[in-house]
Structure 1
Amino acid sequence: MISLDYNYCCIISYCLCLISFTPPCEGGNVLVFPLDGSHWINMKILLDGLHARGHSITVIRMSDSLYIPEKSPLYRSITINMGEVQENFFEVVSNIFTLLTFDFLSMISQAHSLWCDGLVKILDDANMVQSLRNSQYDLVLTDPALAPGVILAKYLKLPIVLNVRWITSGEGHFAIAPSPLSYVPVPGSGFTDKMNFMQRVKNLFFHSIIMFQQRFMVGPSYDAVCAKYIEGGCDIISLLQEADIWLYRSDFVFEFPRPTMPNVVYIGGFQCKPAQPLPAELEDFVQSAGQHGVIIMTLGTLVDALPKEVTDEIASVFAKMPQKVIWRHKGERPSTVGNNTLLVDWMPQKDLLGHPQTKVFIAHGGTNGVQEAIYYGVPVLGIPLFFDQYDNLLRLQERGAGKILQLGDVNGHNFEQSLLEVLHQDSYRVNMQRLSRLHRDQPVAPMDQAIFWVEYVMRHKGAPHLRTEAYKMPWYSYHSLDVVLLLLTAVTLLLLSSLAIFRFLCCRRQKTKQH
């Protein structure tokens, strides 16, 4: 009886401790301006957590949204009619042939311009603006890879929380934290934090391209909206720098170490949780692999299939493997597919990665997939296609937890050799499981951190005390060039004065000698 009472008291004490660590927060009112595609998958998981805490959520979406439903038990929606713009955009992105030949910078610039047009429709609709004001939102939660939500938050004078890894000009850190190009690789450079001289030169060049893109291809669309609707005008980078909290979808198990800021909260892997049981048919297929295990392959949400000749080569390699293969493939069925390969339109990726039978993850290198592979400790054979995927996979390869195979190098021989290497060299799995242990060893789960900081902004009506004021400084002051100029001027005047005095004394002495 005494032991039961003691255990009961321990349980009650533990529960009280947990409650004491979670500050109270009445249900808030959150306006969400998301980005479609895989970014929405991340955002929805965060909305699940906020909804479970009793917060009211409103989501702004396009009428032709591919992933964001109009009706949901999590939120009410505000739908903007922009024709078939977004659908056409995703059709372009999902075509791997177009991605390899299309003017990609132009396509991205067009996407920003189109969403700015959508924002103008909102701001020109007096009834909608009044409705937004009357709703008395506590904050705006938005994804700044496309940034109309940032301008809307400024227009409504609301605190802002960014669900971010990418911004309009690339990687988020570059906008708010010191980013020495000597050891901070620019996205797209393909470099690590250990660069030789020529790599540092190229890194600077890549950074210049991103700055050019922001200044001349992306920025003008947002500048025009700011000039029209924001008193005093603004630019999108300054608005991003004004954000209260950055929920950053990464961590330093994955990223290379670099300077950061106090309002950046790292929530890498926040979408991950213990694997759930597979559907019965899929579980039977996985178990039929026996001791050989299972290989899973997916190219993410945007790309349905690789070019046919590449697909046939991959399928023929799979057909020779003793492992079973689960392949998310929505294109034409490969002519060389074997009996050991299951082609699916969709797969429970996290549950498969968490299954003990899964041996290798063949992936394109998207942020979600890479972080899930780390969480579950599954080595990766990466085939990067576009965006940040090569850089993501490079971080795994640098740590010995994955291997990169460029799409242009994929043929039967190279693919088979690379797959066998990741399958049979124990170092890949050992290194990935080490990353998994490091990632999981946190005092607070990333999802709990995300919810805490969103509610923190609600409770305190923002978090300006965590935000640097450096963004208000002109560029020459930020880099202390005005101070350097003043000191150089002072030193120059001192030297010139000394020289003048010295010449004066010499001339006077010479005249004295002459007399």
Structure 2
Amino acid sequence: MMVPLLAALLLVLWTRPGCESGRVLVYPVDGSHWVNMRILVEALHARGHQVTVLRSSTSWYVSEHSPHYTSITMHQDTPQSIESQEFMSGFLRRSVEIRSEGPMAAFALYANLFHLLAENQRVVARLVHSMFEDQALMQRLQESRFDLILTDPVFPAGVLVAHYLQLPLVLNVRWLLSGEGHFALAPSPLSYIPQLFSHLSDRMDFLQRLSNFLYHGLSLYMHHFISNPPYQAVCDRFFPGVDVLSLIQGADLWLMRVDFVFEFPRPTMPNVVYVGGFQCRPAQPLPPELEEFVQSSGEHGVVIMSLGTLLGGLHPHISEVIASAFARLPQKVVWRHLGARPSTLGNNTMLLDWLPQNDLLGHPKTRAFVSHGGTNGLYEAIYHGVPLLGLPLIFDQQDNMVRMEARGAAIVLDVTTLEVDSLTQALRDVLDEQKPYRENMRRLSRLHHDQPLTPMDSALFWLEFVMRHGGAAHLRTESYRMPWYAYHNLDVLALLLGLATALLMIISCTCRCLFQRLCGRRKVKLQ
């Protein structure tokens, strides 16, 4: 038995395309975005590649010292506000307060969001500007002879660095500085592709399509007046005639954190590799105390609640409602909660300031996941087949939960109108084996796992592909180099319309002349 197995293993190793140890420069985004970028960094290190991570001195999550990478720390006077949990908690509270004021408060909600985005983009752009003026740093980066740069373009500092160093560019992406990544890359008909913040599915009636069109206008406004100007100023200073969006569109490879068991189908491009859920992994054993608590749930099982990396605590009133609903359940509850202990907390609920989310979701006794709708958590729930109760709060979370609700794997509630009775009933519905939520999520999980390569293997293959070939220009469309009017063939349509108009005028003039001549002859005959 051993000989055939060894022969098969040697054959696989021999036929597998090799890649010598490469040098990878990583410019990450902090917070939850670093959570999945770090997993890619660790995987690249495990494959023998040398990884260097650019981080700011105010970084919240990106450690200066790691066995998996060498870091270069850039001094930053002003930290990004999203790097402060205290600031983000305040931003969350303000956003929830505005939402509770009703639909007419939408302008205040977006003003609050735009202020946050504008300030953070300005801080990042100033950091990049100071990097480019630091000749010693840029010379050090150039002399390192990196094979590619891997970055997250939601804050496109890494995109500018790649252009400065003339390196092949790989994006670990779902969001850009002004919306969802596909909108900058592939044809995106608004008739069935929902825009960010629209809270729509891919099945829209007339009024919904009108709403989606208006949200697209909001995205354009956000790009041109909120997010892009600080970076365009950097481009004008160091790369005259270049704009950030074209640099993003010119990336060699897009590692898109999307799986179509979650995302709605849409047009795509050859240089997009779908790696949604690449951060997911089989569950590991729980710490003994937590395992004992989970096992004590008996046949009823466990409910998990977490609000992700940036958001740990809610308004005390909302926490009291959630605690009361949990206390009514026969299940045990593990809740990642920051802040004061709710007075209505039941004996069945354990509060933790951190929890091993993936390992809990993969535990056989886990029955449901109460989530804010962060992408990482949703993919872990899909990976392990755990149905969802969504309490979306800010950013893309509502849009994410709309997708899970459309798949029949989640119930979504408005956190601003949360009541104990409605929350309790929603929890019971998600937990009820007779209702479709669990089976629908298990079906999504089977689809997610049924792939020729795991998302991580696909990501690593294509990263090494770019290293082997010095880029992937043959997969990249050149449409981004075209003027907008040429991309939409407006110049061709204008020419054809002009020719048609000229032909009609010629015919009209000819007919008028003939008519006048005929009328003139008739007058002569009558005389």
Q: TM-score if structure 1 supplies the norm length? A: 0.96
Q: C-alpha deviations, 1:402-441, integer Å up to 9, x for none?
A: 0101111212111111111111143100000000000100
Match among 365, 379, 389 for residue 357 of structure 1: 365
Higher mean displacement: 495-504 or 60-69: 495-504
* 2:256 is aligned with 1:248: yes
5 Å-filtered alignment, 1:184-333, equals 184-230=193-239, 232-333=240-341
Q: Matches of 1:195 and 1:15 in 2, distance apart?
A: 51
CA contact (8 A) 2:232 2:244 kept: yes
* Alpha-carbon contact 1:28-1:458 (below 8 Å) kept: yes
Equivalent-residue separation in structure 1 for 2:397 and 2:431 (angstroms)? 21
Choose the corresponding residue for 2:88, options 93, 117, 121. Answer: 93
Question: Which residue, out of 398, 405, 411, partners 2:413?
Answer: 405
Aligned AA (1:440): H
- Displacement of 1:455 in angstroms is 0.8
After superposition, give the CA deviation of every residue in 1:78-111 in whole Å (9 maximum; x if it has no partner).
Answer: 1122135236753322332133357111111110
Alignment CA distance shift 1:133-1:471 (3 Å) = same
Give the corresponding residue for 2:350. Answer: 342
| Structure 2: distance between partners of 1:235 and 1:93 | 30
Task: Indicate conservation of the 8 Å contact 2:80/2:124, yes or no.
Answer: no
**CA distance in structure 2 between the aligned counterparts of 1:87 and 1:255, rounded to whole angstroms:** 29
Compute the displacement of 1:153 (Å).
0.4
Structure 1 distance, partners of 2:357, 2:388, is 13
Aligned counterparts of 2:370 and 2:468: Cα–Cα separation in 1: 43
Counterpart-to-counterpart distance in 2, 1:21 and 1:111: 47
- 3-state SS of paired residue (1:189): coil
1:261 CA displacement = 0.6
Structure 2 CA distance, aligned partners of 1:68 and 1:189?
A: 32
What one-letter code is carried by the residue in structure 2 that aligns with 1:117? R
SS of match in other structure, 2:508: helix
Q: How far off is 1:15 after superposition?
A: 1.2
Q: Is this contact kept in 2: 1:165–1:248, CA < 8 A?
A: yes
SS in 1 for 2:436: helix
Compared CA separation, residues 489 and 84, structure 1 to 2 (3 A) = closer
- CA distance, structure 2, for counterparts of residue 297 and residue 146 of structure 1: 29
Secondary structure in structure 1 of the residue aligned to 2:24:
strand
Partner of 1:3: none
Distance 2:6 2:312 in 1: 51
**Could you say which residue in structure 1 is the equivalent of 2:185?**
176
TM (norm. structure 2) is 0.94
**Cα distance in 2 between the residues matched to 1:477 and 1:84:** 42
Q: Distance in 1 between matches of 2:506 and 2:514?
A: 12
Contact 2:81–2:88 (Cα < 8 Å) also in 1: no
Q: Which deviates more, 314-323 or 241-250?
A: 314-323
Task: Give, as a single letter, the amino acid of the residue that structure 1 aligns with 2:425.
Answer: Q
Q: Is the 8 A contact 1:92 1:98 kept in 2?
A: no
What does the per-residue CA deviation read over 1:181-226, in whole Å, with 9 as the maximum and x for residues that have no partner? 0110001101011101011111010110110111011111011100
Q: CA-to-partner distance for each residue in 1:145-188, whole Å, 9 max, x for gaps?
A: 00111011001111100000001011000001001001100011
Which whole-Å CA distance do the structure 1 matches of 2:336 and 2:304 have between them?
Answer: 8
Question: What's the counterpart of residue 54 of structure 1?
Answer: 48
What are the ranges of 5 or more consecutive residues in structure 1 without an aligned counterpart? 1-6
Contact 1:64 1:87 in 2 (8 A): no
Q: Deviations over 1:36-81 (max 9, x none)?
A: 0000000000011100111111111111211110000011111122
CA shift in 2, pair 1:35/1:259, >3 Å: same
Does the Cα contact within 8 Å between 1:296 and 1:362 map onto a contact in 2? Answer: yes
How far did residue 451 of structure 1 move? Answer: 0.6
Unaligned runs of 5+ in 2: 99-108
**Partner Cα separation in structure 2 for residue 218 and residue 452 of structure 1:** 32
Alpha-carbon separation, structure 2, partners of 1:49 and 1:98: 38
Give the aligned residue type for 2:510.
I
Counterpart amino acid of residue 83 in structure 1: D
- The alpha carbon displacement at 1:17 in A equals 4.1
- Root mean square deviation of aligned Cα: 1.3
Instruction: Give per-residue Cα distances to partners, 1:465-491, cap 9 Å, x unaligned.
Output: 111111111111111111111011111
- Structure 1: which amino acid aligns with 2:119? Q
For 2:87, the aligned partner's letter is V
**1:351 CA displacement:** 0.8
Relative to structure 1, is the Cα distance of residues 87 and 199 closer, same or farther in structure 2, using a 3 angstrom cutoff? Answer: closer
Count matched residues: 508
Q: Distance in 1 between matches of 2:355 and 2:450?
A: 28
* Rounded Cα–Cα distance in structure 2 between residues aligned with 1:379 and 1:88: 29
What is the identity, as a one-letter code, of the residue corresponding to 1:195? M
1:89/1:111 contact within 8 Å kept: no
